[in-house]
Homo-oligomer: A and B are copies of this chain.
Amino acid sequence: MLLTEAGEFGLIDRIKAVVAGSAENLVVGIDDDSAVFRTTGERLLLLTTDAFVEHVHFDFRYLSPAQLGWRALAANLSDIAAMGGEPVYAVVSLALPPQTRVEQVEAFYQGMKTLADMFGTLVVGGDTTRSPGGWLVSVSVLGEVEQECLTLRSGAKVGDALYVTGTLGGARAGLAMLQTTERESSREVHPAIEKHVKPLPRVKEARYLVQHFAVHAMIDISDGLAPEVGHICRQSGTGATILANRIPLDQATRRVARRLGDDPIHYALQG
């Protein structure tokens, strides 16, 4: 069977069936934003990884190497945030075409470090190698979370309310704007573009929430509200009703949608 026929869920279920294993100290395996396990310390550890492939996830026509470094780390920090945890260490695999300039690699790491510094995360290792095609980036982050702060996808209960930590669809609107041939990037759409090129992981918001409220479930919605709420429902055995007019959208997102003739709700749902 081709991957394209299996779909994302089919593939993940098959991978899970192969690697399935349990260990006394493993709390959550492949089922959440990060893996969760116990070591000899007080806090649980979190481990997550994300890959970014040139021409699939990004394009240097509208993302600089520094922005790529930021984004690649941001995706992983969001996964740690979604568990209620704090990111601590990052390692980076980078495969680069031979015509890459050293200055581009430095800019990539500089962008990553700027974000890492904001969250007290250290880039502690990596592997740099050749690519016969475009850039390939894979970042893995180790985080920590107190047992009582750990928040999974699977804990939602009937009657729970669904909250988001900001306005949605901005990053998608920003990308749509960057991909148009309209090169005049007016001030009004700039906030959406910023959300695409410099997304801000919700580490602080998530920490505040799990420390002050009884949050039942959390998930990173960078890939869009619709599929991610779907993950929570599937793993919690619940349903969800989302009222389109209650999805928070900001002005820049609405403006981009109007200019491109799109529905801003689609940006929010699809990420």
A contact residues vs B (CB 8 Å cutoff): 1-6, 8, 10-12, 14-15, 18-19, 21-23, 26, 29-30, 34-35, 37, 39-43, 45, 47-51, 53-57, 88-89, 91-96, 98-103, 105-106, 109-110, 112-113, 116-117, 122-134, 136, 138, 140, 142, 144
B15 engages A106 (CB within 8 Å): yes
A124 engages B37 (CB within 8 Å): yes
Residues from chain B with a CB closer than 8 A to the CB of A117 are 21
Residues from chain B with a CB closer than 8 A to the CB of A39 are 39, 41, 43, 45, 88, 144
B89 engages A56 (CB within 8 Å): no
Bound: A15/B34 CA distance, A: 27
Chain A interface, >50% SS class = mixed
B51 engages A125 (CB within 8 Å): no
Query: Chain B residue with minimal CB distance to A75?
Result: B127
Chain B min CB distance to A263 (Å): 26
A89 engages B37 (CB within 8 Å): yes
A2 engages B101 (CB within 8 Å): yes
A35 engages B106 (CB within 8 Å): no
Contact of A122 among B18, B29, B92, B132 (CB under 8 A): B29
**Given A40-B41, A128-B11, also A113-B19 (CB < 8 A):** yes
Query: Chain B residue with minimal CB distance to A18?
Result: B109
Number of copies: 2
Chain B min CB distance to A36 (Å): 9
15 A-B pairs within 8 Å (CB atoms) are namely A2-B99, A14-B106, A26-B89, A29-B122, A29-B124, A35-B91, A37-B88, A39-B88, A40-B42, A47-B91, A51-B94, A51-B136, A53-B132, A133-B133, A140-B140
Chain B min CB distance to A22 (Å): 8
Bound: A70/B83 CA distance, A: 30
**Given A41-B40, A124-B35, also A49-B142 (CB < 8 A):** no
**Given A19-B112, A93-B138, A102-B3, also A35-B127 (CB < 8 A):** no
Query: Chain B residue with minimal CB distance to A39?
Result: B41
**Given A43-B39, A110-B18, also A138-B11 (CB < 8 A):** no
Bound: A53/B53 CA distance, A: 12
